Amino acid sequence: MQATVVSLSAEPGTVVARGDEVAVLEAMKMEHVVTAPYAGTLTEWRVQPGDVVDAGAVLAVLTATGDVGREDRGEAPVDLDQVRPDLAETLERHRIGLDEGRPQAAGKRHAAGRRTARENITGLIDPGSFTEYGALAIAAQRRRRSLEDLIANTPADGLITGTATVGGRPVAVLAYDYTVLAGTQGIQNHRKTDRLYRLALREKLPLVLFAEGGGGRPGDTDTYAVAQLDIPTFRLAAQLSGVVPTVAVVSGYCFAGNAALASVCDMIIATEGSSLGMGGPAMIEGGGLGVVAPGDVGPMAVQVPNGVVDVLVADDDAAVAAARRYLSLFTGPRPGAPPADQRRLRHLVPENRARAYDVRPVIETLADPGSLLEVRAEFGVGIVTAFARIAGHAVGVMASNPRHLGGAIDGDAADKATRFLEICRAHALPVVSLCDTPGFMVGPEVERTATVRRFGALFAAGARLTAPLCVVVLRKAYGLGAMAMAGGDLKAPALTVAWPTGEFGGMGLEGAVRLGYRRELEAIADPGEREARYQQLVAEHYERGKALSTAAAFEVDDVIDPAGTREVIARVLARTS
């Protein structure tokens, strides 16, 4: 190559060994060392320092000699354990950001019974799988703080981001670090978030967000921005929703921007004692709304019953375990432990058709042991929603709850089921619907809760399902509510079966008799005779609408032994997976 001679390393007459440096050339601001190709005597230089030489030019004459008095040196040995100064500086910068480099901060978390952000990530991911992005970022506050201060006290700008695997599947992970500026969102912090969200969108990575923090940070000075309302963070987070599974873990205080990112996730898992709100105490006070303690802004006593939080757990360990369980649903079929004795299902619905019962043991018996994850348990309690595996296949389960309004679907239950079905549709998760409902809840007071729109949304969500839907009628299947539990009608599912306790009708049997036979019953003067006739008509309607009669009319696919329910569902899932 064309180059400039920088220096010559030996005088004429010098004896050199193969590999000895004889000259240094410079090209494009880079130095290139010329070494002796063999042992010999340097007899003549044909260039001088400062000369510009062309490719192929002769620099010097080297005469090989049989006895030069020196052996070829070859390559000098390298100390593989040597740490050069530049590497030492890099390693130290990384160490400062780790828990071991900040023992006081880590100790404070442990004293409060909490895990550090890095410990949460370690508990979530497969060992040794984490690739961190932006570990060396610091807060954008160099105009007000020294570089040494920022390096020591704002590692990663309060947000740890990276990719890893969970159960062997690649995921993206973001963890706000509350020990750094209260987990607030700064300039570099937002750039890191945007980087990871874009990566997750491009590579279709499930995402886990540890969202603890106070929202936007007003103290960053290294910017010419005014309001920063043009950042893409929240749009990117919303775009990811419904594309891949997303989970937010809320532990401690989570306000404003942090809460906004959590709000668009499929699943919000929170620990007891946490607070979650779109505006934190500082924002509330700044808006002239008074001084409020952090624990009074969106406590779990509010956010669990109103459906904001999907899963409430005891502590950080349990939150991470729940996140892993949710992500495990999207890794394909996997063998599980032997199921419970399925004969138990024959005895979980009372023989007395008017007796309430708990539907959760039905779900637990059907599901693979240890796979069940109920969501929004205290909201919309008329319908139970859960994720589970059945014979290794991941499914969403929604079940009528006869202990609440006899299983009637009210507005909250409809909202809960609608969102649940939307999540299942987004991730192509099959749905198992366990139906025992007298229909939609009705009445003047109920209509004040906008049930027309809410029930309509439930029908729309069922109609949009793309993965298989399996419906099992445990007992009552009446009216529009039963049709909504079946995705719109009893022939919409991949399979619709009933237990022997099943009963069907356009509306509840008792109501149908009272409406359809009102004049006949009113014409019977004797109250005893009237009641006897009423009961006779109810029994006739029940006989006509019981499961066997309905199957005989082929309005359902079959009436099955409850003990065979799991096997029947598993065959459909295997067929359609």
How far is the C-alpha of 78 from the C-alpha of 95, rounded, in Å? 26
Q: Which residues contact 491 (CB under 8 A, 6 or more apart)?
A: none
Domains, in order of start, for the chain: 3-63 (2.40.50.100), 85-328 (3.90.226.10), 342-502+546-576 (3.90.226.10)
Concatenated DSSP letters of 386-427: EEEEETTEEEEEEEE-TTTGGG-B-HHHHHHHHHHHHHHHHT
**What are the two backbone dihedrals, phi and then psi, of residue 417, each rounded to the nearest 5 degrees?**
-65, -35
Q: 179 is written with which tokens?
A: 């020990």
- The model's confidence at residue 75, banded by pLDDT at 50, 70 and 90, is low
Map tokens 């130290």 to a residue. 92
User: Does position 542 have pLDDT exceeding 80, yes or no?
Assistant: no
**What are the two backbone dihedrals, phi and then psi, of residue 395, each rounded to the nearest 5 degrees?**
-145, 160
Angle, alpha carbons 136-324-315 (nearest 5°)? 80
Residue type, 413: A
Map tokens 């209260």 to a residue. 182
With beta carbons less than 8 A apart as the criterion, state whether 54 and 1 touch: no
Position 69 scores a pLDDT of 45
With beta carbons less than 8 A apart as the criterion, state whether 179 and 109 touch: yes
* Better-predicted residue by pLDDT, 517 or 231: 231
How far is the C-alpha of 448 from the C-alpha of 445, rounded, in Å? 5
Residue percentage of the chain with pLDDT more than 90: 72
Q: What is the three-class DSSP state of 262?
A: helix
Q: What would the mean pLDDT of 544-572 be, rounded to a whole number?
A: 94
Q: What is the DSSP letter of 342?
A: G
Concatenated DSSP letters of 135-151: TT---S-TTTS-HHHHH
Q: 569 is written with which tokens?
A: 């569902």
Angle between helices 509-516 and 527-545 (to 10 degrees): 120
Tens digits of per-residue pLDDT, 368-404?
999 999 999 999 999 999 999 999 999 999 999 999 9
Full 3-state SS string of 488-514: CCCCCCCEEEECCCCEEECCCHHHHHH
Q: What is the CA radius of gyration of the chain?
A: 35
Tens digits of per-residue pLDDT, 157-188?
999 999 999 999 999 999 999 999 999 998 99
Concatenated DSSP letters of 290-333: ----GGGSSBHHHHTTTTS-SEEESSHHHHHHHHHHHHHTTS--
With beta carbons less than 8 A apart as the criterion, state whether 206 and 331 touch: no
Concatenated DSSP letters of 158-216: GEEEEEEEETTEEEEEEEE-TTTGGG-B-HHHHHHHHHHHHHHHHHT--EEEE--B-SB
Tens digits of per-residue pLDDT, 408-444?
999 999 999 999 999 999 999 999 999 999 999 988 9
Q: How many CA atoms lie within 13 A of 304 on its CB side?
A: 18
Q: Provide the terminal-to-terminal Cα distance of the chain, rounded to the nearest Å.
A: 61
Q: What would the mean pLDDT of 68-83 be, rounded to a whole number?
A: 67
Distances (CA, A) of 536 to 504, 513, 539: 18, 10, 5
Tens digits of per-residue pLDDT, 269-316?
999 999 999 988 888 877 888 888 888 899 999 999 999 999 999 999
Tens digits of per-residue pLDDT, 23-62?
999 999 999 999 888 888 888 899 999 999 999 999 999 9
Question: Does the model's pTM come out above 0.95?
Answer: no
Q: Which residues contact 544 (CB under 8 A, 6 or more apart)?
A: none
Q: What is the three-class DSSP state of 227?
A: coil
Tens digits of per-residue pLDDT, 240-269?
998 999 999 999 999 999 999 999 999 999
Q: Which residues contact 152 (CB under 8 A, 6 or more apart)?
A: 96
Q: 127 is written with which tokens?
A: 């060992």
How far is the C-alpha of 318 from the C-alpha of 314, rounded, in Å? 6
Tens digits of per-residue pLDDT, 311-360?
999 999 999 999 999 999 988 888 878 999 999 999 999 999 889 999 99
Q: What is the three-class DSSP state of 385?
A: strand
With beta carbons less than 8 A apart as the criterion, state whether 361 and 403 touch: no
How far is the C-alpha of 550 from the C-alpha of 435, rounded, in Å? 15
Q: How many CA atoms lie within 13 A of 252 on its CB side?
A: 20
Q: Which residues contact 523 (CB under 8 A, 6 or more apart)?
A: none
Nearest to 390, CA basis, from 362, 416, 413: 362
- The model's confidence at residue 507, banded by pLDDT at 50, 70 and 90, is low
Nearest to 139, CA basis, from 161, 157, 151, 156: 157
With beta carbons less than 8 A apart as the criterion, state whether 156 and 97 touch: yes
Give the CA diameter of the chain: 137
Nearest to 570, CA basis, from 426, 432, 436, 372: 432
User: Does position 519 have pLDDT exceeding 90, yes or no?
Assistant: no
Which is it for the CA torsion 357, 360, 363, 366, positive or negative?
A: negative
- The model's confidence at residue 540, banded by pLDDT at 50, 70 and 90, is confident
